[in-house]
Amino acid sequence: MDLQTLLKAFYLLLCLPGLLSAENIRLPDMGDSAGAFISPEQEHRIGTEFLRRIRLSFQLIEDPEITEYIRNLGNRVAANSDDPVQNYTFFMLDDPRINAFAAPGGFIGINTGLFSATESESELASVIAHEIAHITQRHMARAYEAQSNLNLPALAGVIAAIIIGSQNSELGRATLSASQAAAVQAQLDFTRSNENEADHIGIQTLAAADFDPRAMTVFFERLQQASRYYSRPPEFLSTHPVTVTRIANARGRAERYPFKQFTDSLDYHLIREKIRQYIPKQPHDIAYYEKVLASRQYNNETATRYGYALALAAAGRFNQADQELLKLLKQHPEQPYFLLARAQFMLESGKTQAAVDAFQQALKLYPGDHSLTVTYARALLQLKRAAESRQLLHEHRRQRDPDASLYHLLAIAEDAAGFPLEAHQSLAEYHYLNGQTREAIRQLDIALALKTENFIELSKIQARRDQLRQLEREENPH
């Protein structure tokens, strides 16, 4: 099997593609052989390794407001799935291509291009619901039976290669070669069944989460129609083939639910406007917003004015940006996005004490809010108040599992506050989560070389270094 056939076939098996048939949907037996081959704990480890490899090849969105929105939306959908206790990790790639994908252990990635292509929150939720269905039905776990001879890091490499290949064929080819996965086989008939199940269960999940169950077909149809004007189809259509039969089947299932009006959250429109900044060739300059506002050709006026304020600030016109935000805050006095943006504008325009006061007032309204906390910690570092930033981040870390960006920020705060041992530990975890195992080990070596009499802490560092050395051996067996 040549590489291109391999990439196409195995990605079809692992992700969400396939041709729909009119056959009756049969839900899988959760006690099937895949359950004996790989446990949920092993799936989670594969997913963790997969995400580390994705970080090596693509830029993930680190903006705390965007990441928190997609996390909250994903968790809302997942809580109404047929496996609400499954843990999920939702993340966004800074990639204008229209695509989304799932990996074992509940890891779901969405491109900024796909988010921008949606026109309602229900459409975005429908993609997430579809991906969740493939995970809850353990479609990917069954695919591992043919690869039971691979260790978990190697298997994660195969999955990463296929998904990377769907986004960038050259990167996928290099990753696949490195993972030595030339023996992978696919069964397209099985994939058809997977796709049927994911559509069916995804629509059920959408309705249970109080989103429009018809949104899935609306989104698919619009992409299919728009693809006529593309020089090549969007990646989403390549990995999720949309046929007339598939749309008809999905519409038939959705029509079983009573019709009602669904209203998007303001957060959806605000984040969609913010994501506009990440999409090349999409207008988001001052002239664009002034034209749209003057003509009233917008979907959501509040979000458009928010985008206008962001554009003004990006051009250094902070006083005008602040005036726009003050108008918005009169209508939405406790909207956290507006409060955070105003505090940032004050900081960037040199109004230091006013910015600190604004951050503190916002955190009184929303204690522990991730976006406000992280942004305030960065502001404290900028103001040379590292000890305060470090304390704030440590308190926040106890409330949630740190991600790579939080570890990186913590490392800066630790170093600036005079805690080099802790700084190198945080840097090690940052590099580990970014797939840079060797650099993570190097950071722990540096930490161990520092003079300290804290035997317990040294023992912890040595144990973590041993874990990472073992992982490096598994990642590079030859």
* Encoded tokens for 352: 């230091």
DSSP E strands in 155-194: the ranges are none
- Asked whether residue 34 carries a pLDDT value surpassing 60, the answer given is no
In this structure, of 22-26, 56-60, 73-77, 334-338, the range with the lowest mean pLDDT score is: 22-26
Q: How confident is the model at residue 21 (pLDDT cuts 50, 70, 90)?
A: very low
Query: Helices 40-57 & 420-433, crossing angle to 10 degrees?
Result: 100
- Section 126-149 average pLDDT: 76
- Asked whether residue 202 carries a pLDDT value surpassing 90, the answer given is yes
Cα angle: 197, vertex 50, 165; to 5 degrees? 75
- Section 361-367 average pLDDT: 96
Cα 472 to the center of its chain, rounded Å: 25
Question: Exactly one of 49, 68, 121, 199 is catalytic; which is it?
Answer: 199
- Section 190-195 average pLDDT: 64
**What's the confidence (pLDDT) of residue 290?**
94
Instruction: Let me know: does 369 contact 334? Beta carbons within 8 Å.
Output: no
Query: Helices 318-331 & 301-314, crossing angle to 10 degrees?
Result: 160
- Asked whether residue 170 carries a pLDDT value surpassing 60, the answer given is no
**What's the confidence (pLDDT) of residue 354?**
93
Q: How confident is the model at residue 337 (pLDDT cuts 50, 70, 90)?
A: very high
Tokens 């728009």 sit on residue: 226
- Asked whether residue 126 carries a pLDDT value surpassing 90, the answer given is yes
List the one residue out of 195, 219, 172 whose CA is nearest residue 13: 195
131 is catalytic: yes
Q: What's the pLDDT tens digit per position in 238-294? A: 666 667 787 888 899 999 999 999 999 999 999 999 998 887 766 568 999 999 999
Q: Write down the domain spans for the chain.
A: 3-254, 281-475
- Asked whether residue 19 carries a pLDDT value surpassing 50, the answer given is no
472 is catalytic: no
- Asked whether residue 137 carries a pLDDT value surpassing 90, the answer given is no
- Section 55-77 average pLDDT: 94
In this structure, of 174-178, 332-336, 381-385, 439-443, the range with the lowest mean pLDDT score is: 174-178
Q: Does domain 281-475 have CATH number 1.25.40.10?
A: yes
Question: Exactly one of 43, 131, 322, 414 is catalytic; which is it?
Answer: 131
List the one residue out of 104, 92, 239 whose CA is nearest residue 172: 239
- Asked whether residue 23 carries a pLDDT value surpassing 80, the answer given is no
Alpha carbon distance 375, 377 (integer Å): 5
Contacts of 169 (CB under 8 A, 6+ apart): 4, 7
Q: Please give the backbone phi and psi of residue 19, each rounded to the nearest 5 degrees, phi first.
A: -100, 140
- Section 136-156 average pLDDT: 64
Element (H, E) at 100: strand 100-103
